[in-house]
Amino acid sequence: MNGNRNKYALVTGASKGLGKALALELALRGVNVLLVALKGEELPELCAYIKNKYRVEADYLEINLKDAFAVHRIADWVKQTDVHILINNAGVGGSKHFELAGFDYLDTMISINIRALSLLTYLLLPNLKRHNKSYILNVASMASFCPIAFKTVYPASKSFVYFFSRCLSEELKNTPVSVSVLHPGPMKTNPEVSKRIESQGHWARLGVQSPEDVADVAICKLFKDKPMIIPGYMNKINWLLMKITPTWIKIPLISRNVKREIVTQLN
């Protein structure tokens, strides 16, 4: 990837989990990285590690994507940098009764999962189009393909990411910009998430992958211009099952597992 020596990838939500794995995978392939995450999540240490281990450039911006002007600050930050890859990974999830979730919880999810992703893409698109070849990777979820009670806004927001990405891919198909959307299944990224996955039962655990495995597949398929990326055989099977299963059957079936998770949390 010597051609990437002076080019950069911008990764949001890059301090941990899948975002960190994506940043490391890009660095492994010789791509310089610009990392965005909340303050206090060890971004300086991660950048120092990447520079030392992979001998690429790495810089960071600590910012909360919920803030209304965060996307403008990011766009200004990278304005003088040759960004040819945008990875919208930052996202917020969780399981709660909708009426008990709280206004701030719901507002944060909508602001980060939908607003920030859309507007950051809008602001950076002119720069991406100036390249001979550039890429956008939006991180959705397997939850994009089915409404799920007790998650409610989360699958709706990830469904938005899926439709937004496919539509944008169609609009940009005669341009240098390739758009891909990633649908990871469950990943044990931290103890809290691991506990949630375990509480949902055997079926939820079948598609579990490591962030590193998902990142490897995602970047490989991204560079092959795949519009939709579903990593792992079990997730592909789940996708097919969700396509053929009537909605009135799959909503209560999947929601039952999530309700079990909430009961476990309360206990």
Per DSSP, the three-state class of 266 is: helix
Q: What is the spatial distance between Cα 149 and Cα 101, in angstroms, rounded to a whole number? A: 13
Q: What is the rounded average pLDDT of the residues 151-157?
A: 97
In CATH terms, 2-266 corresponds, of 1.10.260.40, 3.40.50.720, 3.60.10.10, 3.40.50.11030, to 3.40.50.720
Question: Per-residue pLDDT for 6 more than 90?
Answer: no
Query: Which of 5-9, 12-16, 240-244 shows the lowest per-residue confidence on average (mean pLDDT)?
Result: 5-9
Q: List pLDDT tens digits, range 50-107.
A: 999 999 999 999 999 999 999 999 999 999 899 999 999 999 999 999 999 999 999 9
Domain boundaries, the chain: 2-266
Task: Compute the distance between CA of residue 203 and CA of residue 180 in angstroms, rounded to an integer.
Answer: 27
Q: Tell me, yes or no, if the pTM score tops 0.85.
A: yes
pLDDT for residue 257: 84
Q: Kindly list the catalytic residues.
A: 154
The answer for residues whose C-beta is within 8 angstroms of residue 9's C-beta and 6 or more apart is 23, 26, 31, 32, 33, 34, 83, 84, 85, 86, 87
Is residue 261 very low, low, confident or very high in pLDDT (cuts 50, 70, 90)? confident
